[in-house]
Structure 1
Amino acid sequence: MTALTFPCTIFSTQRKMNDRAAADMRYGDLTADQLQKRYFLTDVSEKVNPYTGVRLSPFNLPQSRFYTPHSIRNAGACSYQACAQLLFDEMRSLSWPFSIYSPYRQLINKMIDHMQYANGAPFSDAALDMALRNQLLEDNSGKSSLDVIETVVNSNINYKQKEFPKPKFQSFDTAIQTTILPKFARKEDSINGLGITVHDIYSIEIKMLSLQVHNHSWEAKVQYVAQDHFGLDDNDIMKDKFRQFKFFKIWFVLQRYEKYGYKPFFTNMNAVINLSGGKK
């Protein structure tokens, strides 16, 4: 019987890594007219009109009791570069309710900085790797992918030959498809910084890096490579849970408005976990 060799990929999602054709990876593709009429993004910022560059104050905010029409005509406009800086600064100030206190609370501002200055380069951070690892290890849902991998190895390992039979390789993919893969959509993720920075992971690959078989036990190293997109698509901004917050309106305009076109980027996460088992 042929033995499975390592490292090998034991599972990957249908959605692949580095998918730049994904809807949330679009940028700079919408006009001011489209943003305002199709997406109803008129009241975007408290600081500046993102389309005209006019700085806003109590005297030229239409909803303000101090509003007068001539105040808009007399207001000076700033450049698109200066306007973008004001919008990014406002995003940072508006991010705190989504990241009140946790080891991950600084992630959102790091990622806003990355969007502003990194021109779409991939992003990674040790805190994200830690978050992925902790989420996997703390999964007590009863549908943990780690538990399923351990079960598949225990059920199919050949102790006599000290190997995992290659014909049983498909058992990993079949079993993992029944599990709940990592994502940050728990209640606590809405305030710990992970819901706003990652939320639902776009694609995952699971690799078994090594498998050592002893007389009555085994040890393995399993790697999770996960990727999300720091970007918004049409469906996101049309949902009430997003459009009620200026944070997401500003994000969408900075990403999709043709005058700004700040690039979304891939958020990469990585976790290596030791598993073990044996004869009962």
Structure 2
Amino acid sequence: MVRLLLLTLLPLFLFGTEICTLSFKGFSGNVGLLKCRNLKPVTYRVDISNGKEVRSFLYSYPNNIDYLPFAVPFFWSGNITLTFYREGFKLARVNFKVEPLSRGISRLKVSYKTDTKRVSRDYSLIRKVLRTYSPVRYYESRPLFPLEFFKRISSPYGVRRFVNGKPAGFHKGVDFAAPYGEKIFAVLSGKVILARKLALTGNTIVIDHGWGLMTLYAHLSRIEIKEGEFVKQGEVIGRVGSSGRSTGPHLHFGVYLNDIAIDPLNFLKTGLRPAKDGN
């Protein structure tokens, strides 16, 4: 029998030998974990649903004792249903509640013209990159901080944005104001799948850490790695800058799980693998 222990202790037990505890810190945009033992060397899947949409997460050949990460989209709140599968066979279903994250409103005025065709091409490229899924997992137990030093957080994750009076979504990462040229580090090991200059985010890097987990580093003054390279956790990948649409030197740091933008500060505090398995 599979066991899923939740904050609300409302699991629905079905078949299986796996034993899992659900760990989730209650707000939208956060990463959650199924902390499991007795896993088999097969493919597992987690589906989460808010009653209107379903988001899926795949885990290829986990260890016997392992953590299976999932993410709740920023605009989801209320009752969420999580369903756990092994090789397409339903093991368990459980409901939990998510509180909406509120980080305020940012109003920006942009006077210079934007090359809309280039922005559209860049957007399509980023969406394609962030939807990449690698069945191999590269990441360690815990992420490192991407900077040795920063002055302040100039814009947190989740701020609702209005540009020239029009809604422009929400801030999908966190901005660290830092000195120009400050070293930027890979927070986890992974494969560089994007390293180039884009219209809005300037010099931009995306690293694939496996199992759908990506980190994004934007507005760099310099990129110091190339697309296709494998980088190790803690390796210098670039320098802080103000390229693209930017008002001053800073690092925009984003984290995505299966193309869901999650709160980077929550992510940086999360243990992604059991400590003894973390490399």
- Give the TM-score normalised by the residue count of structure 1: 0.23
Structure holding more strand per residue: 2
Structure holding more helix per residue: 1
Q: Which has the larger radius of gyration?
A: 1
Higher RCO, 1 or 2 (CA under 8 Å, sep at least 6)?
1
